[in-house]
Amino acid sequence: MNPGYELPLDEAAYSFGFLDEYAKREVRRAILKAVSIPGYQTPYASREMPMGRGFGTGGLQLTLSLIGPGDTLKVIDQGSDDSVNAVNLRHFVELTCPGVDTAERTAEATLIQSRHRIPEAPLTEEQLLVLQVPYPDPLVVVEPSEGKRKIMHGEGDYSRLLTKLYEDIVQFDEITISHRYPTRINGHYVIDPSPIPRYDVPRLHQSRALILFGAGREKRIYAVPPYTVAEPLAFEDVPFRTEDFREEHGNRRACARCGAKDSFLDEIILDGGEKTYQCSDSDYCNQQLAMRSAAVEASA
């Protein structure tokens, strides 16, 4: 991604990006394979990072292998730039990658590492999205043997997964999966798209940005390359649907802070037990708020 950068020769004696050059090269090789076979879970030698597995070590290894001076990094957790996990990951990259900028604005970032959300603002071909993955294999809920799962993936046999969705419909009248919705990539491999809400799944389809998934503990990397077909598993008579945030009268709820009616909303329970809703993407919420106050000023 960044040809010709040199390692900083500082006192800390860390490699640029913490990982040694061999580790980064191996991750990049796995990324190339993952991009070549969309949706295929490519194994790689996940390194020990100075943080616990489960805190985004897979995503971080992708980020550190790809980032270079001149890049601008945005890190979000549940849509927010300010949550502890996002702040710590961003700080770690700042420490180990001199020359890298960080940003909160989605449009300014060249590389976005995220947990649980895809940003509301549409991504571009110049951007790269890294998603942190706890469980890479969608078949793990129906087949405990990894060997058998590999055969099922190879044959594109997802009948047991579809049976599981069907059982949901029989029992609850709808598919109850809220996060990690199984999604077929490029007509073959079904992926676990990481714990993004259903609302974000359509953003994988024909995405302009390259989307990479990193599972550090499970040692897997997979990809949805730009302009690739991504179809959530569903049935002809029970189509896939996303959260619609309608209240009892059928109206779309708005963000209590910025008033947006086109964003994924978090439910917040106030002290009195009352519920309120706010954009989960904090940058989007700030942008909407700024636009609205500018409009108010202009009309005043």
Using CB under 5 A, list all residues that contact Zn ion.
Answer: 255, 257-258, 260, 279, 285
Q: Determine whether 255 is an active site residue.
A: yes
Q: In the bound complex, what is the minimum distance in angstroms from residue 87's beta carbon to Zn ion? A: 21
Going 135 to 141 to 144 to 149, the CA torsion angle's sign is negative
Closest among 159, 147, 149, 133 to 223, alpha carbons compared:
133
Which one of the listed residues 17, 39, 59, 216 is annotated catalytic?
39
| CB closer to Zn ion, 204 vs 260 | 260
Distant-in-sequence, close-in-space partners of 119: CB < 8 Å, separation ≥ 6: 74, 76, 79, 106, 112, 129, 281, 283, 284
Residues 149 and 170 sit within 8 Å (Cβ to Cβ): no
| Residue nearer to Zn ion on the CB measure, 128 or 258 | 258
Q: Which among 197, 213, 15, 9 has a CA at the least distance from the CA of 119?
A: 197
Q: Please indicate whether residue 4 is annotated as part of the active site.
A: no
| Residue 1 · residue 66 · CB < 8 Å | yes
How many CA within 13 A on the CB side of residue 161? 25
Element of type H or E holding 19 = none
Q: How far is the CB of 253 from Zn ion (least distance, A)?
A: 11
Query: Which of these is catalytic: 17, 214, 216, 285?
Result: 285
Query: In terms of DSSP bridges, do strands 230-232 and 220-224 run parallel, antiparallel, or are they unpaired?
Result: unpaired
Give the containing element (helix H, strand E) for 102: strand 101-102
Tell me whether residue 97 is one of the annotated catalytic residues. no
Q: How far is the CB of 247 from Zn ion (least distance, A)?
A: 16
In eight-state DSSP terms, residue 263 is S
SS3 268: strand
The token duo for 243 is 């959260």
Exactly one of 70, 97, 255, 272 is catalytic; which is it? 255
Pick the catalytic residue from 258, 259, 272, 273: 258
Least distance to Zn ion, CB of residue 146, Å: 42
The CB-of-277 to Zn ion minimum distance in angstroms stands at 9
| Residue with Cβ nearer Zn ion (18 or 264) | 264
Residue number with CB closer to Zn ion (23 or 279): 279
For residue 258, indicate whether it is catalytic: yes
In the complex, least distance from residue 97 CB atom to Zn ion, rounded to whole angstroms: 31
Smaller CB separation from Zn ion, 60 or 255? 255
Complex with Zn ion: residue 7 or 290, whichever CB lies closer = 290
45 contact partners, CB below 8 Å, separation of at least 6: 23, 26, 219
State the catalytic residues: 39, 255, 258, 279, 285
